Copies of this chain bind each other. A is one copy, B any other.
């Protein structure tokens, strides 16, 4: 998992209580075109504010990431710590500090242990290597049970282009829990503005389809850096010439998003809520979100219970316009509700098997229009409660 022009390393700086990898550094040989998409939560962590600021000129050369501490709700001291950590890294790397973007994930409201980070930086810089990206994927984990990476190598204008994606995503993929960090490194030659355009579009189609638009954590960050080492003609127009890059970016983030859902806290089952026949795009989104985030639907899926009444109840409060007596509900290929009424126990037994067999699509047709939308989500388990009732302890 090597991307020409990038080196990376990770270490255990003592930020995590368990002594695991918790500090990662990724550095490019030269300044990169860069873009970011950040949380829309009103409460933004210091590294989010600082990275957003440093991306104004669409250029970055390094990313410094820590897990175990979100550096959120830490006030002026938190911002100072983020600035200082990236300044120290920049000095060791011989870079201007505004080319280093910070990202943090972990517990909110506790001071970032700056001394430990600074103490760990020299060894971290010394161990930078082109093979280091895999370790980065491990170092950014919090309650994730496995690292999440994706890799694409394709040809564009006759030259090979590489793209690597790394993500961490805890939570049950629910409004306030998509505590997501994701990083994309590529050697494609593309302007920062085009990269920003493509990244935003891809995030909207992927990570924003495993969480709820507008409902975000304090630290959500997606950064993309493009070194240009591939040598393709510079992509400076978001339309025609960027088509391949757009597809690859979407594929990469789709892959990462699926891994995040599959590793949802305590998740036993993953599924897609697909709403069809809505009266507007907004209503399709509302209906899909209401079902995807309903704890009652999630617990029913956990119990492999084809409790479609809960789906109807979630639909009914979603804000979408529809006539209950026209709704169809289908699990995989098995329809269980037709015209708002159940098709009986045989249909439900077949649907139950679909749930047990796992990953499946739950399709709801409203017959109220021509618009559709979806969310990928997971069930709500007793393990989820166990994990989150004791997360800080």
Contact = CB atoms under 8 A, between A and B. Distances in A.
Interface of A: 40-44, 70, 72-75, 107-110, 171-172, 174-177, 214-218, 290, 294-296, 299-300, 302-303, 305, 307-310, 312-317, 320-322, 324-325, 337, 339-342, 380-382, 384-386, 388-393
B392 A307 contact: yes
B176 A313 contact: yes
A319 to B, nearest CB: 8
Given A43-B313, A176-B314, 10 more contacts: A73-B312, A75-B340, A108-B307, A176-B290, A218-B309, A218-B316, A296-B388, A302-B385, A305-B393, A381-B385
Contact of A43 (B43, B110, B307, B312): B312
Nearest to A177: B296
Given A108-B309, A313-B108, A299 B42 contact: no
Contacts of A320: 42
Contact of A342 (B73, B174, B391): B73
B295 A172 contact: yes
A309 B73 contact: yes
A72 B392 contact: no
- Tallying the copies of this chain within the complex gives 2
B75 A302 contact: no
Contacts of A393: 303, 305
B382 A107 contact: no
B75 A43 contact: no
Contact of A384 (B176, B322, B385): B385
Contact of A42 (B218, B324, B384): B324
Contacts of A314: 176
Nearest to A215: B317
Nearest to A106: B309
Contacts of A44: 316, 324
